[in-house]
Amino acid sequence: MDWRNERDELFKRNALAEKLGGEDKIERQHKGGRLTVRERIDQILDDGTFREIGATAGSYNYDGDGNITSHTPSNCVMGRGRIDGRAVVVSGDDFTIRGGSADAAIKEKAIYPEKMANELRLPIIRLIEGSGGGGSVKTIETKGRANLPGGVGQSSGFNLLAENMSTVPVVGLGLGSVAGLGAARLAASHYSVLVKDIGAMFVAGPPVVKHIGEDLDKQELGGHAIQTAAGGVDHAAESEADAFECTRRFLSYLPSSVFDVPPRGEVSDDVERQDEILDNIIPKNTRKVYRMRKIIDSLVDAGSFFEMGRMFGRSMITGFARLDGWPVALMASDPHFYAGAWTSDACDKVIRFVDMAETFHLPVVYLADCPGFLVGGEAERTATIRHGVRAMSAINQSTTPWCSIIVRNSFGVAGGAHRPVGRFSVRYAWYTVRWGSLPLEGGIEAAYRADIDAADDPEAKLAEIEARLNQLRSPYRTAETFWIEDIIEPHKTRPLLCDFANLAAPLRTAGPVSFGMRP
């Protein structure tokens, strides 16, 4: 028996899928500075590792003899592949076919990669462009009815998107205009990226928004500058190639799922390396700032710091790093913004980051310089204290190993949130520290108002009280009561952090955590 006809039919259908939306649509994609979905998959995965699933799925029309007369591929291309040798799931929107909208979508195919990632316990990368299989007003005409969102028999797969946040690493890349369901898929990820000046994310695009009186172009409405500052996405990449490289780096710090622990990387830096420039990096003048990222780069394995969310909640720095090869989740205060005080945005950033560390069993290192919560009108209008107690709860509910280095300030309720209470954590302080219930500045006037007002020379009395209290608040006085484990010379910090990472490594326990991470 000859199977030539059947084999030819398979080749024919695969060839139709490779054409995507047609040469004119592909050319338009390239003119817009964007790759096609298949080009993207080839670039992000290790060479030759893509195993496509459902390539022949689509819409077909036939003549009376059963021959194909027209064909529209599904606008989702998906399958498995490898990144740096590790298996992953990849799902990509094909914008050349109806702009990635529901008119050309096969919902079962769009949901399939989420199920596959969840049950095979593999990271998933979403290459998103358009509405991500979401709706279009043309759907009313093509289907002859309007859909009821969430109606019987209808599923966007968002339950799986949410479940995957608690199970496997999820990366969302916005590689063009992303709206509606596509925006939800991008936001429901552990690490999200927009390509500068090309990518944009919004609930609804400019034509819809114009109807409510806002005449904005795509970048003004939801471009990278808007979304990174708002915390809608984590990073703005220079190009698609840059976005793919960021994806590889992000995944390198994480396990394939919560059922494993993060792998140790290459051991390439001296554990005992000590940088004496740190001993004088903190200015004696408390009103002067310093470069926290320079401190971070000095302490972690060379070149290993991978920052996320840089433009959002800017008084806090968050990212992954390595210590003696071990991956850690690193938080640090940035005195360049609000002197390192916790704003409502910074608190939200802390919550999400600590939850991610807890989900994927990453030890936490916190380089703390926190003068407390932001105070004033802005703080009250943004409910800083409510966001703040949620951040404190996230820290105190965490179970992952924790190490804090108090670098300069630790004041008030937020200052006290530098480690989880009620369980053991490693904690050191530099000799540059100041701490207390609140800073002396402003606090003296409130606590000693009667004494100052009664003095013949109020300014001299204020100076006298300040000098007396400064002597008493020496960190060494605090250390006498064992409120701090040790006060150290800054240049000795890296060996201690590497020691912590090695102590924490065998304590990491694989498996789901007690609560699921939310986007």
- pLDDT in the model for residue 74: 82
| CA–CA separation, 501 and 504 (whole Å) | 5
pTM: 0.91
Three-state DSSP class for 93?
A: strand
Task: Decide if 4-252 and 276-438+474-507 have a common fold.
Answer: yes
Contact in structure between 324 and 370 (CB atoms under 8 Å): no
What does the domain layout of the chain look like in residue ranges?
A: 4-252, 276-438+474-507
CATH tag for 276-438+474-507 (out of 3.90.226.10, 2.60.40.10, 3.90.550.10, 3.40.190.10): 3.90.226.10
Angle among Cα 279, 343, 426 to the nearest 5 degrees reads: 45
The tens-digit pLDDT sequence of the chain (519 residues) is 688 888 888 888 888 877 777 788 888 999 889 999 999 999 999 999 999 998 888 778 888 888 887 777 888 899 999 999 999 999 999 888 865 555 556 778 889 999 999 999 999 999 999 875 555 666 666 666 666 666 555 455 778 888 999 999 999 999 999 998 899 999 999 999 999 999 999 999 999 999 999 999 999 999 999 999 999 999 999 999 999 999 999 999 999 999 999 999 999 999 999 999 999 999 999 889 999 999 999 999 999 999 999 999 999 999 999 999 999 999 999 999 999 999 999 999 999 999 999 999 999 999 999 999 999 999 999 999 999 999 999 999 999 999 999 999 999 899 999 999 989 999 999 999 988 876 656 666 777 788 888 888 888 887 887 777 777 678 888 888 877 889 999 999 999 999 999 999 999 999 998 877 877
The SS3 call for residue 152 is coil
Supply the angle between the helices 107-120 and 158-165 in degrees, to the nearest 10: 20
Q: How distant is the alpha carbon of residue 113 from its chain centre?
A: 21
Distance separating alpha carbons of residues 43 and 53, to the nearest angstrom: 18
Distance CA 301, CA 294 (A): 13
Do the bridges between strand 191-195 and strand 235-237 make them parallel or antiparallel, or are there none, so unpaired? parallel
As a whole number of angstroms, the distance between CA 200 and CA 483 comes to 49
Q: Residues 6 or more apart from 171 whose CB is under 8 A from it?
A: 123, 124, 125, 126, 189, 190, 191, 192, 193, 247, 250, 251
Sign of CA dihedral 96, 100, 106, 111: positive
Q: Looking at domain 4-252, does it have CATH number 3.90.226.10?
A: yes
DSSP bridge partners of 200: 177, 223
